[in-house]
């Protein structure tokens, strides 16, 4: 009887977890790559971090210091769209969150490269998306950008 009850409880817990995962995955992209700058505050809340804004000539950088110690920078052009995202710190951020609608393209490209073993860096250069990630436990860095969205005065090497 106790085993049957435990199995029933476990079954309900798994069903609840599956529903939560499905609903979480259906949440629209926040101020992720290609997204609108108006929702960067949601990223700040989700990362449990603090944000500061740095103005440059052709863009604005929204830097979020996450509670985990990772720093995420979201670069927004004059049109208010996020054209690049960079990060560095002890942990990789939630790639689905920072890549937004570009996550599926990123995932397909990483999968096509084969399994990522050891400390090999990720380098994706496809039409419409460029991603570089390198690092190891407690020391990661990366950047992702949409080449067509880069302001004319900005080079990919400037994104740190």
Tens-place pLDDT, residues 105-123: 999 999 888 755 556 789 9
Q: How high does pLDDT run on average in the chain?
A: 80
Is residue 93 one of the residues assigned to a domain? Answer: yes
The upper half-sphere exposure of residue 87, i.e. CA atoms within 13 Å in the direction of its Cβ, equals 31
- Residues forming beta bridges with residue 53, ordered by sequence position: 62
Higher pLDDT residue, 159 or 37? 159
Is residue 22 one of the residues assigned to a domain? Answer: no
**pLDDT tens for each residue of 59-80:** 999 998 998 899 999 999 999 9
Element (H, E) at 24: helix 2-25
Is residue 2 one of the residues assigned to a domain? Answer: no
Range of the domain at 126: 29-158
Angstrom distance (rounded) from CA 158 to CA 1: 64
Report DSSP state, residue 70.
Answer: -
**How far is C-alpha 144 from the chain's CA centre?**
9
Q: What's the pTM value of the predicted model, to 2 decimals?
A: 0.76
Is residue 16 one of the residues assigned to a domain? Answer: no
**pLDDT tens for each residue of 76-93:** 999 999 999 999 999 999
Is residue 24 one of the residues assigned to a domain? Answer: no
């Amino acid at each position: 009887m106790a085993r049957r009850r435990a199995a029933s409880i476990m079954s309900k817990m798994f069903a609840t977890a599956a529903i939560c995962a499905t609903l979480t995955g259906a949440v629209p992209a926040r101020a992720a790559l290609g997204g609108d700058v108006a929702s960067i505050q949601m990223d700040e809340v989700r990362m449990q971090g603090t944000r500061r804004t740095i103005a440059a000539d052709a863009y604005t950088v929204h830097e979020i210091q996450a509670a985990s110690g990772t720093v995420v920078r979201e670069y927004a052009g004059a049109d208010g769209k996020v054209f690049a995202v960079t990060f560095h710190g002890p942990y990789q951020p939630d790639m689905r969150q920072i890549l937004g609608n570009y996550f599926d393209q990123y995932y397909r490209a990483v999968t096509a490269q084969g399994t990522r073993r050891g400390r090999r860096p990720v380098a994706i250069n496809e039409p419409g998306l460029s991603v570089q990630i390198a690092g190891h436990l407690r020391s990661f860095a990366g950047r992702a950008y949409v080449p067509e969205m880069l302001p004319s005065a900005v080079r990919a090497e400037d994104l740190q």
